[in-house]
């Protein structure tokens, strides 16, 4: 399978949650998609089937984003299959159960940093080397940074590193016609967010934004599609997609 006409997007964490919705949204816009996933082959295949059902081309590639060799192979697969890479959406990430710093197991911190920080650097490094002119890199942070919720120190710290990289990398890519931006969702109805929360907690968080609801993966995917395509004058920014919560 190959394509010289369609723009090509790699979506890490593309088999579930927000990443899965991004795959569907970009496929509907005519992108050829490389769906990256960490471990669940069935979910990877399902994301590809959904993208094809939206009229796009797609393949699934299993890769650990914290492994630079695996990430390089992911980009190789995109280039070999579709001829190049125009957009990279790095949606892969993990969240530890909220834990006060005094009680945090630093082995848990290491796992969070490996995926959320090392993974972002590994993906961004390949994107910086390989994105074609007119391309876009979109990484993910979290509005939990602004909310400063107790217990979210490890997760917020990992995403703060992502935000710190955004403008620096945009400036490093001067002259390449490649944009670098970060999307920072607020509370969004995904398995990652809902896991371990009781109904009262979910209802309280849903009531915080002026729009009085949780975000949906489709809300986030719309912002990603904007940054991936028409938003060529938005660069080096962190876009808080959270319904006005912070």
Taking the C-alpha atoms of residue 18 and residue 202, their distance in angstroms, rounded to an integer, is 18
Other C-beta atoms lying within 10 Å of the C-beta of residue 33: 32
Q: Which of 24, 42, 43 is nearest to 89 (CA)?
A: 24
Length reported for the chain? 246
155 is catalytic: yes
């005519």: which residue's tokens? 30
Tokens for 85, please give them: 């890479």
Cβ pair 40, 46 in contact under 8 A: no
Q: What values do phi and psi take at 239, rounded to 5?
A: -100, 115
Q: What is the DSSP string of 166-198?
A: HHHHHHHTTTS--EEEEEEE-SB-SHHHHTT--
Number of alpha carbons in the 13 Å side-chain half-sphere of residue 13? 25
Looking at 31, 37, 152, 155, which residue is catalytic? 155
Catalytic residues: 155
């Amino acid at each position: 399978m190959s394509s010289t006409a369609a723009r090509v997007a790699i979506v890490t964490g593309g088999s579930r949650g927000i990443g899965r919705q991004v795959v569907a949204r970009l496929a509907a816009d005519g992108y050829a998609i490389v769906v990256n996933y960490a471990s669940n082959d069935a979910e990877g295949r399902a994301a590809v089937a959904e993208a094809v059902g939206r009229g796009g081309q797609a393949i699934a590639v299993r890769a650990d984003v914290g492994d630079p060799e695996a990430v390089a192979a992911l980009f190789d697969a995109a280039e070999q299959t579709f001829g190049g890479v125009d957009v990279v959406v790095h949606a892969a990430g993990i969240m530890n159960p909220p834990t006060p710093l005094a009680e945090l197991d630093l082995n848990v911190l290491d796992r969070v940093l490996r995926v959320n920080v090392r993974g972002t650097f590994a993906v961004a490094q390949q994107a910086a080397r390989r994105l074609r002119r007119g391309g876009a890199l979109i990484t993910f942070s979290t509005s939990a940074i602004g909310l400063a919720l107790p217990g979210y120190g490890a997760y917020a710290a990992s995403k703060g590193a992502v935000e710190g990289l955004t403008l620096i990398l945009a400036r490093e890519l001067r002259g390449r016609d490649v944009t670098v931006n970060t999307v920072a969702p607020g509370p969004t109805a995904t398995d990652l967010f809902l896991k371990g929360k009781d109904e009262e907690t979910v209802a309280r968080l849903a009531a915080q934004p002026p729009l009085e609801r949780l975000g949906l993966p489709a809300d986030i995917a719309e912002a990603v599609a904007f940054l991936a395509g028409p938003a060529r004058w938005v660069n080096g920014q962190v876009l808080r997609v959270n319904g006005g919560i912070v």
